């Protein structure tokens, strides 16, 4: 069977099976936003890695190398945020076409470095090689978190509230604009796509306050990512279309760009917002946190028993079927 | 300036400058086989990363996916060996052409897993994505070492002896055979190229015994790699051609494959043997270690004052000039 027929998630499941882990120091291996390894009685090490390939994850013409560098790091920072951790050190493996101008690579690393400094992470190593075709950037980021506050995908219970930070679908619309040649780097939707802001502060605040029961970041689209929390927590979920937080720019541009008004918000990738579940008794704690951080945290639904699976309800109370599907690598 | 004109080493130097590190927990950032971070009073964390690209680092037709998987891990294991550490956890980021058979990827991960288990390392995570052209595999490996025994490239002093484990140049000859269509996977030179054995045990033994003053692995060729130790230790080096450890297969095949009999041993990449310096008073300790491990450790020269730089002396006592040069990525 070809990889494209097997699909990304089946592939990852098979890989986990080949490499089952039995180390008591390992708190979480494959299957969450980052791996979690015990460091001492109180702290654990978080490790996440992402690979970005020119033509698949980015196009050079869509952003400056500095902004691209920032995004490469943000994608990893977002995974550490999703565990409620603090970033520490990063490592960059890069395959570079030999005719690339040095100034491009310098700006790329400057962008990574700027974003890293902002979030107190430091470059400690990497590997460089030639590439006969496209630019490939693979970053591994290490972070740290208190053991008793780390947030996993598996902590949700039926009846929890489902929240997201910020707004949804902006990045997907920004990408559509770029692909149609409509976007400028200053456009708010384009900016969300090329220069997303990882929610490190919010992730840490949610973890430290113990307000949330499960958390992950939204990288492949809300519906797809929600199913990871559902699967790992053994719950279902009901999402209300009319509660999805949409930016003013989304509301203005979406009708021109997408046939279905809600699809970019439900299935668009690369928002890098946090998706988290909250026991109802903690709802007020989340509202206070949102206020303190000046970051919107919107309740978009609730977890349910496992049986109904993922249900999306439209503004008339009608169940949406079939569900639109998100981005798949294969 | 294009990257190919700047060169790999200048690129890495420039990158280090962009991202200078001031964290007191960081014992070693960019510039050694692995980064070293303090864990507690006694232990430190080692982190290394390598990126392997189809067509640049490997060709699918030269080995089975299982053996390729082993090698991908070995390259990283060798970096941990070079610090005298023990491997712990690894992370695999992979970009896969969508028409790749799943069986290929399964065997690749099985190979990685087999090599990892042999050296007590475990897969904890990674990232998978599609690639529109070639297969790319980027591995990050974490390891552990006792703080007071970690071996760096910077510890050599003038007058130390220079040693290597195993034999040199076999991998380069193996690759030449494969490229000429002469090699079979059972050939000892080919095997050394497609399935190198990382010197984890020897690295740890050299570190624990405190016999060596500096160490690294030979991945880009003896002469090129020796210059890293020279630069970081502030020493020169004198290498004796007639002391280079050459395998019987090397002696037999090299005259057919290479115009210069010593070039594959001096400049051939991917031997993944250890290159280390030893204060003269510890020479006997190294001989005993080699016996105990049943692994040859050969004295090939000595470090000198910085001024003469790198000097190679042939069997007649004549200085070889100009020095042949090793593999460069750009």
pLDDT tens by residue, B73-131: 999 999 999 999 999 999 999 999 989 999 999 999 999 999 999 999 999 999 999 99
Calpha distance A65→A44 (Å, rounded) = 33
For A201-210, B20-29, B148-157, B242-251, which range has the lowest pLDDT when averaged over its residues?
A: B20-29
Asked if B261 and B315 touch (Cβ cutoff 8 Å), the reply is no
Residues with Cβ within 8 Å of residue A241, at least 6 apart in sequence = A262, A312, A313, A314, A315, A320
Calpha distance B35→A197 (Å, rounded) = 28
Cα distance between the two ends of chain B: 13
Contact pairs from chain A to chain B, CB under 8 Å: 238
| B276 to chain A, closest Cα gap in Å | 22
Looking at this predicted complex, what is its ipTM? Answer: 0.90
- Check pLDDT > 70 for residue B270: yes
Backbone φ and ψ for A301, nearest 5 degrees, come out as 170, -160
Asked if A126 and A89 touch (Cβ cutoff 8 Å), the reply is no
Beta-carbon separation of B51 and A15 below 8 A: no
Taking the Cβ of residue A43 and every Cβ of chain B, the question of whether any pair is shorter than 8 Å is answered with no
| A108 to chain B, closest Cα gap in Å | 10
pTM attached to this predicted model: 0.92
- Check pLDDT > 80 for residue B329: no
Taking the Cβ of residue A188 and every Cβ of chain B, the question of whether any pair is shorter than 8 Å is answered with no
SS3 content of chain B, % helix, strand, coil (to 5): 40, 25, 35
Taking the Cβ of residue B136 and every Cβ of chain A, the question of whether any pair is shorter than 8 Å is answered with yes
pLDDT of residue A55: 87
Taking the Cβ of residue B24 and every Cβ of chain A, the question of whether any pair is shorter than 8 Å is answered with no
HEC assignment per residue over B33-94 = CCEEEECCCCEEEEEEEEEEEECCCECHHHCCHHHHHHHHHHHHHHHHHHHCCEEEEEEEEE
Cα distance between the two ends of chain A: 13
Calpha distance B156→B216 (Å, rounded) = 11
Calpha distance A112→A105 (Å, rounded) = 11
pLDDT, averaged across chain B: 93
In words, the CATH class of domain A161-313 is alpha beta
B290: left (phi over 0), alpha (psi -120 to 50) or beta: alpha
How far is Cα of residue B149 from the mean position of the Cα atoms in its chain?
19
Asked if B125 and B160 touch (Cβ cutoff 8 Å), the reply is no
pLDDT of residue B259: 87
- Mean local confidence (pLDDT), B288-311: 96
Taking the Cβ of residue A38 and every Cβ of chain B, the question of whether any pair is shorter than 8 Å is answered with no
- Check pLDDT > 90 for residue B244: yes
Residues B117-151: pLDDT tens digits?
999 999 999 999 999 889 999 999 999 999 999 99
Name every chain B residue with its beta carbon within 8 A of the beta carbon of A41. none
Torsion of CA B109, B112, B116, B117, to 10 degrees: 60
Name every chain A residue with its beta carbon within 8 A of the beta carbon of B130. 4, 53, 56, 329-330
Taking the Cβ of residue A24 and every Cβ of chain B, the question of whether any pair is shorter than 8 Å is answered with no
Residues with Cβ within 8 Å of residue B11, at least 6 apart in sequence = A102, A105, A128, B3, B330
Provide the greatest CA pair distance for chain A: 58
Name every chain A residue with its beta carbon within 8 A of the beta carbon of B12. 128
Chain B interface, mutation test: which of A41, A122, A132, A269, most B Cβ atoms within 10 Å? A122
- Check pLDDT > 80 for residue B42: yes
Calpha distance A82→B120 (Å, rounded) = 29
A168: which DSSP letter? S
Calpha distance B210→B120 (Å, rounded) = 23
| Band (B33; pLDDT cuts 50, 70, 90) | very high
For A68-82, B5-19, B306-320, which range has the lowest pLDDT when averaged over its residues?
A: B5-19
Of the candidates B3, B51, B109, the beta carbon closest to that of A100 is on B3
Taking the Cβ of residue A59 and every Cβ of chain B, the question of whether any pair is shorter than 8 Å is answered with no
- Mean local confidence (pLDDT), B303-312: 94
pLDDT of residue A21: 78
Beta-carbon separation of B125 and A14 below 8 A: no
With residue A54 as reference, give the H or E element that holds it. Answer: none
C-alpha distances out from residue B79 to B50, B151, B198, Å: 9, 11, 8
Tokens (6 digits) for B233: 């230790």
pLDDT of residue A132: 86
Provide the greatest CA pair distance for chain B: 58
Chain B interface, mutation test: which of A15, A86, A100, most B Cβ atoms within 10 Å? A15
| Band (B19; pLDDT cuts 50, 70, 90) | confident
- Check pLDDT > 60 for residue B298: yes
| Band (B326; pLDDT cuts 50, 70, 90) | low
Torsion of CA B57, B62, B66, B68, to 10 degrees: -10
In words, the CATH class of domain A3-146 is alpha beta
Tokens (6 digits) for A236: 């279902």
Calpha distance B147→A39 (Å, rounded) = 16
Q: In 3-state terms, what secondary structure has residue A291? A: helix
Low-confidence ranges of chain A (pLDDT < 70): 326-330
> What's the CA angle centered on B33, arms B29 and B38, to 5 degrees?
45
Calpha distance B110→B69 (Å, rounded) = 7
- Name the pairing type of β-strands B122-130 and B86-96: parallel
With residue B123 as reference, give the H or E element that holds it. Answer: strand B122-130
- Name the pairing type of β-strands B122-130 and B236-240: unpaired
Residues with Cβ within 8 Å of residue A30, at least 6 apart in sequence = A12, A15, A16, A19, B123, B124, B125, B126
Calpha distance A266→A81 (Å, rounded) = 21
> What's the CA angle centered on B291, arms B160 and B159, to 5 degrees?
5
Nearest to B52 by CA among A131, A238, A149, A182: A131
Q: In 3-state terms, what secondary structure has residue B306? A: coil
Calpha distance B289→B202 (Å, rounded) = 8
Calpha distance A154→A29 (Å, rounded) = 13
Q: Which residue of B has its CA nearest to A115?
A: B19
pLDDT of residue A11: 82
Calpha distance B281→B303 (Å, rounded) = 14
| Band (B155; pLDDT cuts 50, 70, 90) | very high
Which CATH code is given to the segment(s) B3-149? 3.30.1330.10
Return the domain boundaries, chain B: 3-149, 161-313
């Amino acid at each position: 069977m070809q990889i494209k027929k097997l699909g990304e998630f089946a592939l990852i499941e098979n890989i986990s099976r080949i490499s089952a882990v039995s180390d008591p120091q390992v708190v979480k291996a494959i299957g969450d936003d980052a791996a979690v390894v015990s460091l001492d009685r109180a702290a654990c090490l978080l490790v996440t890695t992402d690979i970005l390939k020119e033509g698949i994850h980015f196009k050079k013409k869509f952003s400056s190398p500095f902004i691209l560098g920032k995004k490469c790091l943000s994608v990893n920072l977002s995974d550490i945020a999703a565990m409620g951790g603090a970033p520490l050190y990063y490592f960059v493996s890069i395959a570079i076409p030999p005719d690339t101008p040095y100034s491009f690579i310098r700006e790329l690393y400057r962008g990574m470095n700027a974003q890293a400094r902002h979030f107190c992470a430091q470059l400690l190593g990497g590997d460089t090689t030639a590439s006969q075709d496209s630019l490939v950037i693979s970053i591994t980021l290490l972070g740290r978190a208190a053991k008793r506050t780390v947030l996993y995908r598996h902590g949700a219970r039926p009846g929890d509230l489902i929240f997201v930070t910020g707004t949804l679908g902006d990045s997907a619309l920004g990408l559509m604009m770029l692909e149609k040649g409509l976007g400028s780097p200053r456009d708010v939707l384009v900016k969300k796509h090329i220069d997303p802001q990882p929610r490190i502060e919010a992730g840490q605040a949610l973890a430290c306050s113990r307000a949330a029961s499960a958390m992950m970041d939204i990288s492949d689209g809300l519906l797809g990512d929600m199913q990871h929390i559902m699967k790992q927590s053994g719950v279902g979920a009901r999402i209300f279309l009319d509660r999805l937080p949409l930016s003013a720019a989304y509301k203005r541009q979406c009708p021109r760009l997408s046939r279905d008004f809600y699809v970019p918000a439900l299935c668009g990738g690369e928002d890098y917002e946090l998706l988290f579940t909250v026991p109802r008794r903690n709802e007020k704690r989340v509202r206070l946190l949102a206020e303190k951080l000046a970051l919107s945290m919107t309740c978009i639904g609730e977890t349910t028993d496992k049986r109904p699976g993922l249900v999306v309800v439209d503004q008339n109370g009608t169940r949406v079927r079939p569900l639109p599907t998100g981005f798949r690598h294969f």
